């Protein structure tokens, strides 16, 4: 089969589509995720050398896999530690599930094994994030570095350190035992959520959002929903991300400044993503997972998505959902969000009471949104001097330049506003 | 980045072979599981209820199908991808199925990027107004 021009881009596209499955299959073959990734990379290099001359093969994924497997065998023969590796492969072959489906093997999928390994709790969070984007998202080290605004060698080190840890800790290419599944799944979902949030509200840098990173996280969440169709929290996270991502086109103004939820032009919300998010939330309900932390956050996002204008928002429902959320999964950030919802549902004084109770909270000591929320409520109460001071404090605490500009503007506006 | 793919074609007068339909379903499932295919549907022929509402020279007109001057639009798909090359790869796989499983089929898959959040708000780095 022949294809015209730009084969280099075509190879990269095939890589993006095939790499996760390729690495997952190889990892089962050689029993080491790090080695599997190196072999897959070698196959990619071979493709970049051969395809421009010979054309992209009819089955590019199969081509990459057989090339990588041949290299695996060659490399094992050549290596000085041949015996040790051979023993490792032998051991892995023993551990490898047989061809017959095992009734205890409730998650029988290489890709899923790869997900759980990339997000393994023995790894540091930054290592899990980098490894997940690299192994499952098909991102290059350079792309991950750009996404997180860190130098490329730093990402390279995180990935190689993570691979080394997996090797040293002798983490097998296996699914977690059923007893460990909830904790291991939580670790996976946390990684995806973290990637999304970094794109949704960048913690640093000149841009308020980085939509491409949100898209990468969504792609991972959709992949997970396919791999774990019966886990309600997976669909809960997916619903949350689809609905939050639907706001991205309205979340940034023409000058790059942040536009917060009440001020967004809802006509610019992405209806396809809203619809997909609501469908995922239906799936959560079918599975009986309404009270999972992600499901509750998704239900809150859905309540916003279903209000055609900000004034039509069902704040009582949202405040009630937050009440359940802080019960199910206590977190000062969720409690702060509850303060906002209570402020809308029951008036600013009631909201401020909830927010004020958080002032001693250590985890929020340097969290810019605590003073920002208090400022907003104080402003509504006509306590403009206090509001201005709190907005200024929020501006001081944030590392995002766009957010700082927003808080400073509001501080100024509060000062200028006459006291009622 | 989001891409709309429109399949245009001249269908042979026979119904599509079941093997092709099965292969299309399998490819669609694969793309859905990979998290890249957001939406896809087939379209009824323009002769089966297609209508055009047109403005020309200040006059509105409503014309029933079929529209014979162009190839039929057969289906659409919406993908979320990182690159145009990735879109070309998925479209190539789709069109290849038609080549392999429906003798005589001719057509094209047109790939169009959908404007997204990256097109709103934020200006490119170095644009005026950025620090």
Question: Tell me: the pLDDT tens digits for A362-373?
Answer: 999 999 999 999
Pairing status of strand B51-56 against strand B106-114: unpaired
Taking the CB of residue A351, how many other CB atoms lie within 10 A of it? 25
Put simply, the answer to whether B122 touches A6 (Cβ < 8 Å) is: no
| Min Cα–Cα distance to chain A from B47, Å | 28
How many residues are listed for chain B in this entry? 131
pLDDT of residue B117: 75
List chain B residues with CB under 8 Å of A1.
96
CB contact under 8 A, B117 and A17: no
The token pair that represents A96 in the structure block = 């490898």
The pLDDT mean for chain A works out to: 89
- Closest approach of B79 to chain A, Cα-based (Å): 11
- Quote the pLDDT of residue A90: 59
Query: Which residues, at least 6 apart from B100, have a Cβ–Cβ distance to it below 8 Å?
Result: none
Answer whether B122 touches A (CB < 8 Å).
Answer: yes
Asked if A9 is an interface residue toward chain B (Cβ–Cβ < 8 A), one would say yes
Which of B82, B116, B119 to mutate to test binding with chain A, by most A CBs within 10 Å of its CB? B82
Residue B128: Cβ-neighbour burial (10 angstroms; 0-12, 13-18, 19+): exposed
Per-residue CA distances from A302 to A8, A10, A217, A271 (Å):
42, 38, 19, 12
Handedness of CA A233, A107, A29, A52 (dihedral sign): negative
CB A173 within 8 A of CB A116: no
pLDDT at B119: 76
Facing residue for A252 by CB, picked from B39, B120, B129: B120
B118 — contact with chain A (CB < 8 Å)?
A: yes
- Amino acid A88: pLDDT: 64
Q: Please, which pLDDT band fits residue B128 given cuts at 50, 70 and 90?
A: very low
Higher pLDDT, A76 or B61: B61
The helix (H) or strand (E) run that includes residue B78 is: strand B72-80
Of B83, B96, B118, the CB nearest to A211: B118
pLDDT computed for residue A300 by the predictor: 98
Distance CA B36, CA B78 (A): 9
Q: Is B19 on the interface with A (CB under 8 A)?
A: no
Residues 6+ apart with CB under 8 A from A190: A119, A125
Distances (CA, A) of A116 to A120, A191, A247: 6, 11, 30
Q: How far A415 CA sits from the closest chain B CA (Å)?
A: 25
Name B113's bridge partners.
Answer: B3
Say what the pLDDT of residue A81 is: 59
> What residue ranges of chain A have pLDDT lower than 50?
1-2, 4-5, 96-107
Q: Which tokens hold the place of A314?
A: 């069902």
At B120, is the pLDDT very low, low, confident or very high (cuts 50, 70, 90)? low
Residues A48 and A28 sit within 8 Å (Cβ to Cβ)? no
Q: Determine contact: B26 vs chain A, CB below 8 A.
A: no
User: Looking at the complex, does the CB of residue B123 fall below 8 Å from at least one CB of chain A?
Assistant: yes
Residue with tokens 């170095």: B126
Given a cut of 60, is residue B123 above it in pLDDT?
A: no
Nearest CB neighbour to A215, from listed B39, B80, B88 = B80
**Interface contact A17-B34, CB threshold 8 A:** yes
In the structure, what pLDDT confidence band is assigned to residue B108 with cuts at 50, 70 and 90?
very high
ipTM of the complex: 0.85
Please name the residue ranges forming H helices in A228-368: 232-246, 248-251, 271-286, 293-305, 315-328, 332-346, 348-356
């Amino acid at each position: 089969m022949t294809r015209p021009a730009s084969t280099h881009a075509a190879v990269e596209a095939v890589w993006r589509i095939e790499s996760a499955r390729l690495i997952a299959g190889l990892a089962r073959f050689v029993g080491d995720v790090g080695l599997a990734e190196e072999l897959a990379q070698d196959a990619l290099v071979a493709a970049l050398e051969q395809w421009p001359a010979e054309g992209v093969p009819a089955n590019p994924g199969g081509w990459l896999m057989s090339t990588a497997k041949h290299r695996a065998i060659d490399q094992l023969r050549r290596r000085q530690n041949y015996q040790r590796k051979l023993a490792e492969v032998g051991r892995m072959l023993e551990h490898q599930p047989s061809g017959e489906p095992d009734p205890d093997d409730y998650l029988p999928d290489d890709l899923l094994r790869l997900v759980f390994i990339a997000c393994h709790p023995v790894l540091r969070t930054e290592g899990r994030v980098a490894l997940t984007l690299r192994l499952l998202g098909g991102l290059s080290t350079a792309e991950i570095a750009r996404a997180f605004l860190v130098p490329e060698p730093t990402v390279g080190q995180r990935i190689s350190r993570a691979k080394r840890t997996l090797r040293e800790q002798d983490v097998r290419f296996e699914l977690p035992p059923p007893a460990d599944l909830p904790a291991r799944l939580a670790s996976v979902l946390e990684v995806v959520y973290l990637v999304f949030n970094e794109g949704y509200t960048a913690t640093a840098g000149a841009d308020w959002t980085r939509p491409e990173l949100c898209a990468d996280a969504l792609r991972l969440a959709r992949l997970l929903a396919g791999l774990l169709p019966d886990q309600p929290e997976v669909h809960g996270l997916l619903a949350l991300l689809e609905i939050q991502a639907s706001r991205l086109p309205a979340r940034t103004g023409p000058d790059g400044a942040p536009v917060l939820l009440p001020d967004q032009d809802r006509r610019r919300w992405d209806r396809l993503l809203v619809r997909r998010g609501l469908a995922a939330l239906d799936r959560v309900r079918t599975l009986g997972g309404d009270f999972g932390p992600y499901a509750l956050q998704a239900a809150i996002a859905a309540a916003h998505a279903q209000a055609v204008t900000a004034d039509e928002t069902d704040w009582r429902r949202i405040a009630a959902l937050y009440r359940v959320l802080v019960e199910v999964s206590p977190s000062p950030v969720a409690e702060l969000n509850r303060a906002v919802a209570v402020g809308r549902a029951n008036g600013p004084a009631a909201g401020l009471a909830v927010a004020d109770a958080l002032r001693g909270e250590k985890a929020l000591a340097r969290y810019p949104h605590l003073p920002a929320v208090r400022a907003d409520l104080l402003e509504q109460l006509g306590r403009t001097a206090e509001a201005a001071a709190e907005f200024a404090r929020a501006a001081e605490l944030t590392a995002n330049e766009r957010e700082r500009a927003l808080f400073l503007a509001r501080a100024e506006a509060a000062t200028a506003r006459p006291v009622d | 980045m989001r891409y709309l793919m429109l399949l245009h074609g001249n269908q042979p007068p026979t119904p599509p072979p079941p093997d092709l339909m099965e292969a299309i379903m399998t490819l669609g499932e694969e793309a859905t599981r990979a998290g890249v295919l957001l939406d896809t549907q087939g379209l009824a022929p323009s002769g089966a209820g297609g209508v055009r509402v047109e403005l020309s020279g200040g006059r509105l007109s409503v014309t029933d199908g079929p529209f014979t001057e162009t190839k039929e639009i057969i289906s659409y798909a919406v993908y979320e991808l990182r690159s145009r090359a990735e879109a070309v790869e998925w479209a190539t796989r789709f069109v290849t199925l038609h080549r392999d499983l429906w003798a005589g089929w001719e057509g094209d898959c047109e790939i169009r990027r959908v404007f997204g959040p990256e097109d709103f708000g934020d200006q490119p780095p170095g644009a005026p107004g950025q620090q």
